[in-house]
Amino acid sequence: MSSAESLERLEVALSPQERFEEYLQSRGQRQTKPRKFLVETIFAQHAHFDADELIEKLPRKGEPDYVSSATVYRSLREFVDAGLLNSFQLDGRTVYELDYGYPPHDHLYCTRCRKLIEFRSEPLLETRDSIAAEHGFRVTGHRLIVQGVCRECAGTRRKKRKQDLV
């Protein structure tokens, strides 16, 4: 699962690795080689992914830097808790995206090819804040995923099946 457009990185005081080490220290845990490798791998590119997609990209058992599936799943939860990643449900799967060092944003989701397109909208934020103020509501965040069909998929004609013509 990838993004056609990626957001500009924000300047942050700590690297993702340093931020995670700070998180672990606050919980009396230590950094391990597999966790360190996972942070490096995930933050090497800006992409949306699920655990299985990440595991597919990692070295296989017996290869250098191998990380077990159990460690991947456990580490992803820790990365979310540490504020490095966001997670959300999409088509029955947990999808992850980089959070630390990136601005808040929303998504367009193509239901055909499963592409996620990131976008930021000041008018949307103004509307959100205006509605929240009307209701005396303090906003701490939001997630918007607009579902539809992307330009590429809309341009390709789907072959009609006989059963669709009934």
Binding residues for Zn(2+), as ranges, are 110, 113, 150, 153
Q: Is 95 helix (H, G, I), strand (E, B) or coil?
A: strand
Backbone CA torsion sign across 97, 102, 108, 114 = negative
Q: Binding-site residues, please?
A: 106, 110, 113, 142, 150, 153
Look at phi and psi of residue 63 and say left if phi exceeds 0, alpha if psi is from -120 to 50, else beta. Answer: beta
Q: Which residues contact 114 (CB under 8 A, 6 or more apart)?
A: 1, 91
Least Cα distance to 106 among 82, 125, 79 occurs for: 125
Burial of 123 per CB tally in 10 Å (0-12, 13-18, 19+)? exposed
Please identify which residue in the block is written with the tokens 């088509």: 91
Q: Binding-site residues for Fe cation, please?
A: 106, 142
